[in-house]
Amino acid sequence: MKNKDQSGFSLIELLIVVAVIGIIAAIAIPNLLASRRSANEGSAQSSIRTIHSAQATYQATAGAGAFGSLANLMGERLVDSVLGQADATAKSGFMFNIVDISGTGSAAQYGAYAVPATTTGVGQTGTRRFAMTHVGVLRGDTTLSAPSDVAEIDAMSVMGN
């Protein structure tokens, strides 16, 4: 028998509220994670372009016609300390490096790439890798391994931007 001054929620009402919150979370969380991956990929593309600009400056100044490593670019203060640490520190969920540096002047070449730091699971930081050579064309694909040379980068698909 209930007294008139008893108030509150019943167990059934509380369970219904918890179930509704669970359904909303099941819908919202995957979208949130996808948005984070997309933001990480946008940041990686921007960082690859930053590396390309830094390489052009380095080649024309301190490099005496040759391109430099990320450590060289960081030493000249052309890239920040996080981006300048090749494959050591993730920036926005991606690892960066420069490969296949050779030649000077018009024969100089390099390849810069970004690969996701975490490639599987809920914490996956990206679904694509990105790269650019001395030519300045941004490329990307869904292979998540690091390219080893300029030829491998040139075989990647050109990004539509």
Cβ-proximal residues to 97 (8 Å cutoff; 6+ apart), any chain: 70, 86, 87, 112, 113, 146
pTM value is 0.84
Residue pLDDT, tens place only, 38-80: 999 999 999 999 999 999 999 999 999 999 999 999 999 999 9
Domain positions in the chain: 11-158
Distance CA 55, CA 67 (A): 6
The closest of 159, 63, 53 to 105, measured between CA atoms, is 63
Residue pLDDT, tens place only, 89-101: 899 999 999 999 9
